[in-house]
Amino acid sequence: MTQPLMPKATAVWLVENTSLTFDQIADYCGLHVLEVKGIADGDVAQGIKGMDPVTTGQLTRAEIERCQKNPATRLMAAESKYKVPPVQPRKGPRYTPVSRRQDRPDAIAWLIRNHPELTDTQIAKLVGTTKPTIESIRERTHWNSANIKPVDPVTLGLSTQIELDAAVQKAAKKVDRERRKAQKEAGGTETLLPAAETTAPVHATIAAPEREEEREERKSYDADSVFAKLKDVKIEEDDEE
């Protein structure tokens, strides 16, 4: 299904002007349901003006009314009169308009704080900046460090949510691969402990074999002592009589 041209602005309008559920709006706009809930609570997309998808020909009023009656249904985009060519994946750093360039430090600070797994190259591509700028913000040596406040780059319009999610997933997979590789290398270098440390001394676990002469002598000694005791008991009984 084709997503609206401005997903967040469209979601803002749908939240404010319809009774559609968060799931329906999230599905149509290609957003996470929690992000739509954040829009309704005023925590996300602050300052973004809603865009009416009906006036732009992306939705019909009848489609909105149909989905409002049944929360289980999903919005179907209206067929566009114009064929928009598919967007080719962008290569290289993003071009940031002059009016938005002062917002880049805030976006960089947000990415560094919330997604430390992202590399400097990924951050540079997302917001259209340079590695020295990223390093200065991370080390707090930027000339305007005192006024930098972390702000979501998607909210600032410097990146789309899809691009941000893709970069985060790619970085997370790379971190997981490196972690598994390190664990594998660490496991390969481990060695078994010496046998002297893991086994008990022989004399502590296995008794020396008993010689046949000693066994016979012990048996005879035991028998004599038993009969001697029985004899003493009998004598004592006779004396009592």
**Domain coverage including residue 61:** 7-69
220 vs 183, 212, 223, 225, 230, CA distance in Å?
A: 66, 13, 5, 9, 16
Q: Does 218 fall in a domain?
A: no
Q: Does 196 fall in a domain?
A: no
Specify the long-range contacts of residues 37-41, CB closer than 8 Å, at least 24 apart: 39/8, 39/11, 39/12, 39/15, 40/15
How many domains is the chain built from? Answer: 2
* Claim to verify: residue 43 and residue 114 sit in the same structural domain: no
Q: Does 228 fall in a domain?
A: no
* Phi then psi dihedrals of residue 54, to 5 deg: -75, -45
How high is the mean pLDDT of the chain?
Answer: 77
Q: What is the pLDDT of residues 138-191, one digit of tens each?
A: 999 999 889 999 988 888 888 888 888 888 888 888 888 888 888 888 775 444
Q: Does 121 fall in a domain?
A: yes
Residue 128's pLDDT band, with cuts at 50, 70 and 90, is confident
* Claim to verify: residue 130 and residue 179 sit in the same structural domain: yes
Q: What is the pLDDT of residues 4-52, one digit of tens each?
A: 878 888 999 999 999 999 999 999 998 888 889 988 888 877 778 888 9
Q: Does 93 fall in a domain?
A: no
CB 115 within 8 A of CB 168: yes
Q: Does 119 fall in a domain?
A: yes
Q: Does 210 fall in a domain?
A: no
* Claim to verify: residue 124 and residue 50 sit in the same structural domain: no
